């Protein structure tokens, strides 16, 4: 991988990163329509590059089996979380990825501490886990609708007005703990404008195949737009850290949001720079000895190694091998 390419990706995502300790005011600091001067046409090629880089790095991550990656996706309704996951992960081996969506907590989940259900879905080493909604709901929907907090049945001394600042601290420490133990945490906030949300809701109503995505509750949530923007701003200000940064991705243009999400993930993987394990000289010698044994086991007339170059060249003429099989089936 060229350092130049890594640098270009780092430069591309830098304006999206929330500087640790900065005070974010979403409406003022981040433009949902920003597209870095790109055209949709360039976007197709860029996303393709991003997706193939992701496939390559994910393979190395799995082979190295040392680090895991957790990507948290947050957004307002219709922000594009599902589509982002679908497109960005389209080239990646499904065995190496685990996607978890978090909904209203179940009775069992409410019987535990608030981070429990998220801890159950963390990546293993070598794996990329994606949280479609995440532990950040605990300082978003739970903050905007305090009845959610009441349902969590916290003891009185733990549910005072400082509960949000405490949660920010606890979340930061939890993410620090994960990072220190080899699990990289990165967070993407898809930043949608109020007007684009309106347009997407209309589409969900008009297209029968999108109706299932829409509920009357979504419109009620929309009425709380400003409260959510405040909760997002407070969350971004308090929980973007050096070890687990937030990226605010402009989301009004889906194609641009997808490129950004892919770039953020690729950047993290490049930073880890996972390597295929080197088995060492002794193990390599043992492999070569086994190889010679396997070659000696070739049946009469078969090449010692059917995949060797000279055998493959001969194989080019051997198309009738397939024909013979078909004849046999018919007969
Ligand atoms: P959706 O993502 O459209 O399937 O909706 C999931 C719903 O679950 C959203 O309305 C979220 O606000 C809600 N939700 C997610 N996490 C929590 C939580 N921790 N407490 C309460 N509601 C939640
Ligand atoms: Mg929904």
Residue 277 falls inside a structural domain: no
Show which of 232, 253, 272 is a domain's final residue. 272
Nearest to 190 by CA among 203, 176, 175, 200: 200
Shared-domain flag, residues 103 and 142: yes
User: Counting ligands in written order, which one lies closest to the CA of residue 132?
Assistant: 1
* pLDDT digit string, tens, across residues 150-176: 999 999 999 999 999 999 999 999 999
Shared-domain flag, residues 82 and 211: yes
Shared-domain flag, residues 146 and 177: yes
User: Counting ligands in written order, which one lies closest to the CA of residue 143?
Assistant: 1
Residue 303 falls inside a structural domain: yes
Answer whether 247 contacts ligand 1 (Cβ < 6 A). Answer: no
pLDDT at 1 over 80: no
Least confident of 258-272, 289-303, 317-331: 317-331
Q: What is the 102 CA–ligand 1 centroid distance (Å)? A: 6
Shared-domain flag, residues 289 and 253: no
Shared-domain flag, residues 212 and 307: no
Number of domains in the chain: 2
Shared-domain flag, residues 212 and 322: no
- pLDDT on residue 120: 98
Shared-domain flag, residues 259 and 323: no
* pLDDT digit string, tens, across residues 8-35: 999 999 999 999 999 999 999 999 999 9
Cα dist from 245 to 31, 38, 176, 317, whole Å? 19, 24, 11, 57
| Residue numbers of the domain that contains 178 | 3-272
Shared-domain flag, residues 262 and 319: no
Nearest atom of ligand 1 to the alpha carbon of 77: 3
Shared-domain flag, residues 326 and 261: no
Shared-domain flag, residues 224 and 82: yes
pLDDT at 331 over 70: no
Shared-domain flag, residues 16 and 130: yes
User: Counting ligands in written order, which one lies closest to the CA of residue 137?
Assistant: 1
Residue 77 falls inside a structural domain: yes
Answer whether 51 contacts ligand 1 (Cβ < 6 A). Answer: no
Shared-domain flag, residues 264 and 297: no
Residue 167 falls inside a structural domain: yes
Query: For the domain that residue 251 is a member of, what is the CATH number?
Result: 3.40.50.300
The residue whose CA has the least distance to atom 20 of ligand 1 is 104
Residue 260 falls inside a structural domain: yes
Mutate to test the pocket of ligand 1, among 118, 120, 137, 148 (most ligand atoms within 8 A of CB): 137
């Amino acid at each position: 991988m060229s350092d130049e390419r890594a640098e270009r990706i780092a430069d591309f995502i830098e304006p999206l990163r929330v500087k640790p300790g900065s005070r974010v005011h979403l409406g003022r600091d981040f433009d949902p329509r920003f597209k870095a001067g790109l055209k949709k046409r360039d976007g197709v090629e860029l996303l393709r590059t991003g997706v193939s880089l992701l496939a390559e790095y994910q393979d190395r991550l799995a082979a190295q089996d040392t680090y895991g990656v957790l990507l948290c996706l947050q957004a307002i309704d219709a922000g594009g979380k599902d589509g982002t996951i679908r497109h960005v992960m389209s080239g990646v081996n499904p065995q190496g990825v685990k996607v978890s969506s978090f909904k209203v907590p179940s009775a069992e989940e409410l019987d535990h501490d608030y981070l429990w259900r998220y801890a159950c879905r963390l990546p293993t080493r070598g794996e990329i886990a994606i949280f479609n909604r995440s532990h950040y709901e605990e300082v978003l929907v739970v903050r905007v609708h305090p009845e959610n907090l009441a349902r969590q049945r916290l003891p009185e001394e733990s549910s005072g007005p400082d509960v949000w600042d405490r949660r920010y601290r606890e979340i930061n420490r939890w993410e620090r703990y994960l990072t220190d133990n080899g699990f990289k945490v990165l967070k993407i906030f898809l930043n949608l404008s109020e007007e684009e949300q309106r347009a997407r809701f209309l589409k969900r109503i008009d297209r029968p195949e999108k109706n299932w995505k829409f509920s009357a509750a979504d419109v009620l949530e929309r009425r709380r737009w400003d409260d959510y923007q405040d909760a997002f701003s407070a969350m971004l200000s308090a929980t973007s850290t050096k070890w687990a940064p937030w990226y605010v991705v402009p989301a009004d243009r889906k194609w641009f949001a997808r490129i950004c999400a892919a770039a953020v993930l690729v950047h993290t993987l490049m930073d880890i720079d996972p390597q295929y394990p080197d088995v060492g000289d002794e193990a390599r010698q043992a492999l070569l000895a086994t190889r010679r044994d396997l070659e000696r086991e070739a049946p009469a007339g078969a090449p010692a190694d059917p995949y060797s170059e000279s055998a493959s060249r001969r194989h080019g003429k051997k198309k009738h091998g397939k024909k013979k099989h078909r004849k046999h089936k018919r007969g």
